[in-house]
Amino acid sequence: MVVETLMKIKPNIPLAPLTTFGIGGNAKFFVEVSDVEELKEAVKFTKENKLPIFVLGGGSNILISDNGFDGLVVKMDIRGLNFSDIPAGWYIRVGAGEMWDNVVAQAVELNAGGIENLSLIPGTAGGAVYQNIGAYGSEIKDVLIFVQAYDISIDNIVRLSNEECDFEYRSSIFKKNKNLIVLEAELLLPKNYIPNLLYSDLQNQFNGRNPTITEIRQAVIEIRLSKIPYQQNIVPHFFQDDGHQPFMGNAGSFFKNPIIKISNFEFLISKYLDLKGKNVGNGLVKLSAGQLIEKCGFQGKRFGNVGVSAKHALILINYGGGTSKELAELENIIETAVKAEFGIELEKEVEKVAF
């Protein structure tokens, strides 16, 4: 095996401490990259040694197998955050390794609106693009104009437009084509931006008045902390299920909110009068996966070392000592129960690695 290619490569590195779940085995090889040349060298190492590659950001939306990753894990640390005041608005260039909430915080300080609803979402900017993060009616695709990416298949940097990124609900081309590694995102926050207060959680905070961008960010932070409090002094952005309990790892929302036909929704609310649904157009309604799981009686339930948060049923937690096998089994139990009760198949938001 060729190991001289990149001297920073380390063997047999634990991955659990690098994830918010705190679960996972070791990486066969591990390296941090801070620029494109280091990334290219890392990719070259995997090709020469016929190894799979996995790019790790903030570790906030993944569940790594107890068996670890039998290849090279690349920790993305390409930084850089620049704001430019142009006639159309605030133009932002951000490196994939920058923490996403830091981008939001600096935008709000400049009174640049458009991403304040995405406050306190853990992880990196690269992960935000990869996942097409969203919250309270906003998604990163709403403000993204271009992405610089490294294409492993052609050993070259490509620049993809918003349309070419093929964004969908919690998905993008980067999630579908693992040859593409996000290096940098280019955003535009328009000066004629109108705050997005469509979600009831935010409307209830302001009682009809027009809040500032700073007030919206603070409200989003307060709402998120009420559901998923976490300790900021634990890196990277580990969540805590209860401030009075020992640390419990989680990855935020484990499942996506299902989208069904209006006709199916009308049938369901004839049986469950309080079922929440949001019309998303084209004859479709988005349900609350958390509410479905709660109605199946899982909220606050513990299964060995893992369980379902008492604060929000959409969050699966590791009480300490939990394994990926335990979480996968709990996932299956929940999916089976929701399918039996509502006829709805839940889809994971969390990405499983090396299962």
- Annotated catalytic sites, by residue? 170, 253, 349
Q: Which residues contact 87 (CB under 8 A, 6 or more apart)?
A: none
- What are the φ/ψ torsions at residue 93 (nearest 5 degrees)? -115, 125
Distance CA 236, CA 45 (A): 27
Distance CA 54, CA 135 (A): 26
> In terms of Cα–Cα distance, which of 60, 63, 109 is closest to 83?
109
Strand partners, 89: 86, 190
Q: What is the DSSP letter of 141?
A: G
Distance CA 104, CA 124 (A): 11
Q: What is the DSSP letter of 256?
A: P
- What are the φ/ψ torsions at residue 309 (nearest 5 degrees)? -55, 140
Question: End-to-end distance of the chain based on CA atoms, in angstroms?
Answer: 25
**How remote is the C-alpha of 204 from its chain's centroid?**
26
Q: In the structure encoding, which two tokens stand for residue 81, read together?
A: 């955050």
